[in-house]
Amino acid sequence: MPKKYYITTPLYYVNAKPHIGHAYTNILCDAFARFHRFLGNDVFFMTGTDEHGSKIEKTAREQGMEPQEYVDKIVPHFKELWSSLGIQHDYFIRTTDEQHKKVVQNILRDLEKRGEIYKDTYEGWYSIKSETFYSESELVEGRCPDTGGEVQKIQEENYFFKMSKYQDWLIETIQKNPTFIQPEMRKNEILGFLKQPLEDLCITRPKDRLKWGIPYPGSEEHVIYVWFDALINYVSGIGYGVDENKFNSLWPADLHVVGKDILRHHAVYWPIMLKACGIELPKTVLAHGWWTLSGGKISKSSGNSVDPVELIEKYGVDAFRYFLLNEVTVGLDGAYSEDLLRERYRTDLANDLGNLWSRSSSMLGKYFEGKVPSPSESVSDEALMKMTYDLYDKVVSSMEKNNPREALASVWEVMRKSNQFIEEKKPWALSKDESKRQELADVLFVLLDCLAHIACLLQAFLPNSSKEILGRLKLSGVEQIKTVGDYKKVFVEVGGEVDKGEALFPKLEDEA
């Protein structure tokens, strides 16, 4: 039976075009999802949009539109971007979907029945930017601690979710499940936050202040707090209370990937909401860092947004994906610079991978008329072949630790060794000596075999170039490689013709 793997991204607010930070989360999830498909797992990858709340309502009104009309106009742009970045999600959820709204309301009715909700007067500081209430002590110099934006003092009647009573349970749960919050430093941050008394969560907004939300089932005058609504997507999207078979086959989620700024919502509010409903917790919440520019978080509101579409037009999807996945270890911040991206393009992609392909395929053309030569039996003793065979377990183990950067580093080590192998073996010299014909054949066979294995393993990371390489090598049926045994059985066919093709990573236009 294949293992199921349910992975989610956060739902993106639709009040601005997606930037590099949003693209990062989805590329990261896409690489995990593709890799699990490669391993033969039953993957369900869900992404989507967060469409309620005051920010969206405000942006819609500023543009002279009704909120529903506005979100319907924007959502296709998100879908287009994900498709141009090669994101292969299985389901796109919108918080304005009827099924989602129904599940949210049912969950609230259930929580009320369970005695988890009460009505009270609320007084606190509200930040429109982060759609979150803060207590006086949480403010930083009188401003929102997360966005630095303005806050307003607000007093109103609302419904509250009894979160505080679960504080000890949550601390114990986090401590007992060391992989629940990753990476470790973020887990410690949440445990640090939980040292302060946890307050109950205000889960409604009065309609006179905000109309654009899911109506609260118990009151004509309230809509549901956007975060409470949005978090429920992770269960509503797979049919909680609607399609029990589907839900039971996918829940608990294997991985929720989120940015560090929304970890508290996912590692405190969400597990408590689930516990209160009697639903199992997700296995892991993985928080990544921020892409920064001149030291500040890249965001539309800071005016330093970096447009992924422009970058993929210039450098291609694979280079953009490679840069994001390779530049930082998941969890840490990454300083974005286009120069750095160009540098990776030139060195890692054009030099290491592109040249390895073009040198190997050119020599094959020159010395063997482009046909894979027959190797000698001892070819598998070659150190480089052994290294290539060991790569599968290494990459799998890195991906199990949610560390694509480490996975890529192992692949690149073999790639660089392969380039060195060419220097050491000097095929051009071997070609001049007829008695060295078998040695020459072995060298080329080893190179092609390494390239075949590298391309198999890179499918989750660089989907286009790896597909191209596999196609040129005429290798098919390698989209899924479930075991190291199957991986070792991948062979380029002796006598098969290899297409050299165009450069995989051509010189950049402005440098050509």
DSSP codes of every residue in 236-262: HTTTTTT-HHHHHHHPSPSEEEEEGGG
Least gap, CB of 504 to ligand MSP (angstroms): 28
Q: How far apart are CA 127 and CA 149, in angstroms?
A: 7
Q: Is 472 in the site for ligand MSP (CB under 6 A)?
A: no
Q: Is 230 in the site for ligand MSP (CB under 6 A)?
A: yes
Cβ atoms < 10 Å from Cβ of 467:
15
Q: Is 85 in the site for ligand MSP (CB under 6 A)?
A: no
Q: Is 259 in the site for ligand MSP (CB under 6 A)?
A: yes
Phi and psi, residue 94, nearest 5°: -120, 140
Q: Is 389 in the site for ligand MSP (CB under 6 A)?
A: no
Q: Give the DSSP letter of residue 265.
A: I
Nearer to ligand MSP, 80 or 390 (CB): 80
Nearer to ligand MSP, 47 or 465 (CB): 47
The correct pick among 70, 228, 240, 290 for binding ligand MSP (CB under 6 A) is: 290
Least gap, CB of 250 to ligand MSP (angstroms): 17
Q: Which helix (H) or strand (E) holds 496?
A: none
Nearer to ligand MSP, 23 or 430 (CB): 23
CB 323 within 8 A of CB 341: yes
Q: Which residue is nearest to ligand MSP (CB)?
A: 259
Least gap, CB of 298 to ligand MSP (angstroms): 4
Q: How far apart are CA 340 and CA 40, in angstroms?
A: 35
The bridge status of strand 334-335 relative to strand 117-127 is unpaired
Nearest to 271 by CA among 158, 177, 186: 177
Q: How far apart are CA 53 and CA 57, in angstroms?
A: 6
Q: Is 297 in the site for ligand MSP (CB under 6 A)?
A: yes
Q: Is 321 in the site for ligand MSP (CB under 6 A)?
A: no
Question: From edge to edge, which strands make up the β-sheet containing 152-161?
Answer: 132-134, 117-127, 152-161, 201-202
Q: Which stretch binds ligand MSP (CB under 6 A): 17-25, 70-78, 199-207, 393-401?
A: 17-25
Q: Is 237 in the site for ligand MSP (CB under 6 A)?
A: no
Q: Is 13 in the site for ligand MSP (CB under 6 A)?
A: yes
Least gap, CB of 290 to ligand MSP (angstroms): 4
CB 131 within 8 A of CB 227: yes
The bridge status of strand 152-161 relative to strand 181-182 is unpaired
- 317-327 and 308-315 helices, crossing angle to 10°: 110
Task: Give residue 152's region: left, alpha or beta (phi > 0; psi -120 to 50).
Answer: beta
Least gap, CB of 122 to ligand MSP (angstroms): 22
Q: Is 21 in the site for ligand MSP (CB under 6 A)?
A: yes
The correct pick among 5, 6, 10, 274 for binding ligand MSP (CB under 6 A) is: 10
Q: Is 298 in the site for ligand MSP (CB under 6 A)?
A: yes
Q: Is 24 in the site for ligand MSP (CB under 6 A)?
A: yes
Residue 36 one-letter amino acid: H
Report residue 359 CA to chain centroid gap.
33
The correct pick among 7, 11, 210, 255 for binding ligand MSP (CB under 6 A) is: 11
Least gap, CB of 171 to ligand MSP (angstroms): 23
Q: Is 325 in the site for ligand MSP (CB under 6 A)?
A: no
DSSP codes of every residue in 455-471: HHHTTTTSHHHHHHHHH
Least gap, CB of 355 to ligand MSP (angstroms): 32
Q: Which stretch binds ligand MSP (CB under 6 A): 38-46, 201-209, 225-233, 374-382?
A: 225-233
Determine the straight-line distance between the first and last CA of the chain, rounded to whole angstroms.
Answer: 51
The correct pick among 5, 6, 12, 32 for binding ligand MSP (CB under 6 A) is: 12
Q: How far apart are CA 239 and CA 249, in angstroms?
A: 10
Least gap, CB of 219 to ligand MSP (angstroms): 23
Q: Which residues bind ligand MSP (CB under 6 A)?
A: 10-13, 21-22, 24-25, 50, 230-231, 233, 258-259, 261-262, 290-291, 297-299
